[in-house]
Amino acid sequence: MGSHLEGKAVVITGGGRGIGRAIALAAAMEGANVVVADYGGPIDRRGAVSSEAAEQVVTEIESAGGKAVPCAVDVSTMEGGRTIVQAAVDSFGRLDGMLCCAGITVTKYLWELEEQEWDDVIAVHIKGHFSCAQAAAHVMMKQRSGSLVFFSSGALTGMPNATAYATAKAGILGFTWSTAYALEPYGITTNCLIPSAATRMSDNIYENAGTLSKRLGDTMRSELASGTYRDPANIAPLAIYLLSDAARGINGQVFRVQGYEVAHMAGVAFDKTMTSIGPWEVDTIAARLTKELGPALTLLPVPWPEPKD
């Protein structure tokens, strides 16, 4: 048992499985009172909702001597975000940390994706962050303290068979920076993690990854991850730190955490510039663009899945 979150009340959305579960268990071990928020159901949102996953994590926490309550609500609704925050206030009297890990995905290309699938993914990730963060802010602003931890993904660089998911995860970066600026005067920090670990969501992504899946074989599967580089438990220490008082001076930052590595994102940068002494003309751009900016005008050589025939 540790004490980094001693006496704090924290909410972990998506806390019933994978990375969220690992963080919920770790937070309780560090002394936090935890709301385990998980809507249940499959990763594409096509199926029955269940509170079972959240309740199982609560049972694990209580069996280890911690305090936790389950909350199975839909974060893609404003009422869902408010209900989760109210569960913390009703159960523990305050809210010190909100960690938004809930997510779904649909592994389809642009031309395959259905409107409802797009809407569902955007709603759970983007609106889900908004609903929870806004509800949390109303409590934390009165307290003049609190920590928000958002979750993006490496898919934001353009994973081609996860169109909606990649878009949503990129949007979370803008939401992080905007929220960080807005809430800093109230003593509230906002940071973002880009995690990589083996979960049922990554299982689904890599199962649909064509030649990439064949090359990786079973090395990425979640049931084999415990105690390895891909264990979701590897994500928890940085999340716990960002929720703790020790991280009060860290705000508006994005960190990639995978295995035994932590990296810091240096904002959004432009690598090359060309200038003109007056207004641009199309012919001038045509003559200069590839010559001056050419080496940068290629997609990153990332091993994303290849399109299906």
**Cα radius of gyration (the chain):** 21
Locus of tokens 């906002």: 190
Nearest partner of 196 among 156, 171, 231, judged by Cα: 231
Q: Residue 201's pLDDT is what?
A: 59
Mean pLDDT of 88-103: 97
pLDDT score of 77 more than 80: yes
For 99, other C-beta atoms within 10 Å of its C-beta total 30
Q: Residue 150's pLDDT is what?
A: 98
pLDDT in tens, 245-277: 999 999 999 999 998 999 999 988 888 899 999
Rounded-to-integer distance, Cα 291 and Cα 124, Å: 43
Q: Residue 231's pLDDT is what?
A: 87
Which of 165, 186, 206, 260 is catalytic? The answer is: 165
| DSSP helix/strand/coil, 199 | coil
pTM here is 0.89
Q: Is 165 a catalytic residue?
A: yes
CB within 8 Å of 230: residues ≥ 6 apart? 196, 197, 198, 219, 220, 222, 224, 259
Q: Residue 220's pLDDT is what?
A: 62
Mean pLDDT of 26-38: 98
CB–CB of 238/257 below 8 Å? yes
157 band by pLDDT with thresholds 50, 70 and 90: confident
pLDDT score of 210 more than 80: no
Nearest partner of 261 among 218, 203, 217, 197, judged by Cα: 197
Mean pLDDT of 65-87: 97
| DSSP helix/strand/coil, 22 | helix
pLDDT in tens, 123-144: 999 999 999 999 999 999 999 9
pLDDT score of 87 more than 50: yes
| DSSP helix/strand/coil, 39 | coil
Q: Residue 48's pLDDT is what?
A: 64
pLDDT score of 155 more than 50: yes
